[in-house]
Amino acid sequence: EKRRHAVAVEAVQAELLLLQEQLGRRPTFEQVAELQQQLRNVEVVELSDENAASTDLERRLLQKQKAFEGQLSEARVRNEELQDEGRALRARLEAADDQ
């Protein structure tokens, strides 16, 4: 009887240690909350949803981001135009060299 009880106690203690190890590897409630907030921030920025921004700073940053995205788009278009112009000039130069 005592032996069976001792074996049962050891099994419970081993399971308890295993569960404590598993629990130690899990994030705390604070870490989960912080990660959830970071995820919400990323989603707000990704969607560029100014209404979802929780602070004035976030709204201003999103407005700046939209402005930068517009400038980047314009710069890409201008870059493509300049590359086309460069290719055309190169072709003209090669044609002139051939003559």
In a domain, 4, yes or no: no
In a domain, 58, yes or no: yes
Q: What is the pLDDT of residue 53?
A: 66
Contact 9, 18 (CB under 8 A): no
Instruction: Provide the residue-wise pLDDT of the chain in tens; the chain has 99 residues.
Output: 888 899 999 999 999 999 999 999 999 899 999 999 888 877 777 776 666 667 787 778 878 888 898 899 999 999 999 999 999 999 999 998 887
In a domain, 2, yes or no: no
Q: What is the pLDDT of residue 52?
A: 66
Q: What is the pLDDT of residue 72?
A: 92
In a domain, 54, yes or no: yes
Quote the number of domains for the chain: 1
In a domain, 73, yes or no: yes
* Parent domain of 75: 48-98
Instruction: Give, in order, the Cα–Cα distances in Å from 95 to each of 68, 81, 83, 91, 98.
Output: 40, 21, 18, 6, 5
